[in-house]
Amino acid sequence: MSNIATIEQDVYGTKDAFLSVLTDRSINFDREAGFALQAICNNDYAMKIAMGNRQSVVDAVTNIAAIGISLNPAKRQAYLVPRDGKICLDISYMGLMDLAIDSGSIRWGQAKLVHEADSFSLNGLAMQPSHSYDPFSKERGEVVGVYVVVKTADGDYLTDTMSRDEIDGIMKRSQSVKSGKSSPWKTDWGEMAKKTVVKRAYKYWPKTERLDQAIHHLNTESGEGLAILADQRAQPTRPALPEPQDSAERDALYARLQDIAETGMDAYANAWGGLSKEERTMIGQAAHATLKAVAERADAEVPA
């Protein structure tokens, strides 16, 4: 049996497993199998890796269904790439944004790089940032940062920013860069920077299982291994507003959130994302930052 026939057999052999874990019924197995074969069979290096680790091909194709993402090149959501001796499902920042929208976490969002010559400023809580530049200019200068802005189901705008130093710090800690082997950071720094800020910001968006699963996959099985430090998560990216007036209702809500925060960051982020716009306004940005600090301390105190 030829190598192509072997990989074709492996890919089409995942059909039952693919359909059993499919989260998005609009995804068609036969089309995704065709895209997978194109990605592997049209690349000699990918074919060599696939033949040396055939189970990784099976896992990657099955993960397409479990996460609910497409390999369609026109969508630019996800790719099959050879990395660290296996075929990995790699999800682009556009794929993460599409998952967030499709799963109902957000209505809309975009991530952008900011250059030295650009004009960029934050405009306060629940407002879009201002970013103006000449997209055709050849003199925008070096990239100095990256940001993501999204619109929630409640109509709020949430913005997170990261400096060039923060991005490069995370890049240097990534498993693929440390290995000294092939790394998406070496070939697609800008796309990885956008993906990194999305992966940090999503913790404060309304939670969805599909998006959580995609982020977990990128941090583990795909080999990216982007560690988000607790002190970076705690940095506020929007100016704080004056603390709201105390009331019995606010005190009760704050006490409930504090109890949740004491169990860890994931639980608190989920609870905060489930609050209404009025409830978040009632708590206030300063109190929210305090509660996040409580949650991060709780995570830090958990034995490794």
Q: Same domain, yes or no, for 115 and 148?
A: yes
Q: Same domain, yes or no, for 188 and 229?
A: yes
How far, in Å, CA of 112 to CA of 145, rounded? 9
Range list of H helices, 129-241: 164-173, 175-178, 184-187, 189-201, 209-219, 230-233
pTM: 0.64
**What secondary structure does DSSP assign to 62-129, as a single string?**
HHHHHHT----TTTTSEEEEEETTEEEEEE-HHHHHHHHHHTTS-SEEEEEEEETTSEEE---TTSPP
Q: Tell me, what amino acid is at 141?
A: G
Integer-rounded Cα radius of gyration of the chain: 21
Q: Same domain, yes or no, for 259 and 203?
A: no
Whole domain around residue 59: which residue ranges? 3-91
Q: Same domain, yes or no, for 100 and 182?
A: yes
Instruction: Point out the domain boundary residue: 175, 208, 233.
Output: 233
How far, in Å, CA of 65 to CA of 155, rounded? 30
Taking only the tens of pLDDT, the chain with its 304 residues reads 789 999 999 999 999 999 998 988 889 999 999 999 999 999 999 999 999 999 999 999 999 998 999 999 999 999 998 887 889 998 988 999 998 888 888 899 999 999 999 999 998 777 889 999 999 999 999 999 999 999 987 888 899 999 999 999 988 887 777 777 667 888 889 999 999 999 888 888 887 777 888 888 777 766 554 333 333 333 333 333 444 566 778 888 888 888 888 887 778 877 877 888 788 888 876 677 778 777 777 766 544 3
Q: Same domain, yes or no, for 80 and 209?
A: no
Residue 119 lies in a domain: yes
Number of domains making up the chain: 3
Q: Tell me, what amino acid is at 51?
A: M
Q: Give the helix/strand (H/E) hosting 256.
A: helix 248-261
How far, in Å, CA of 166 to CA of 171, rounded? 9
Residue 243 lies in a domain: no
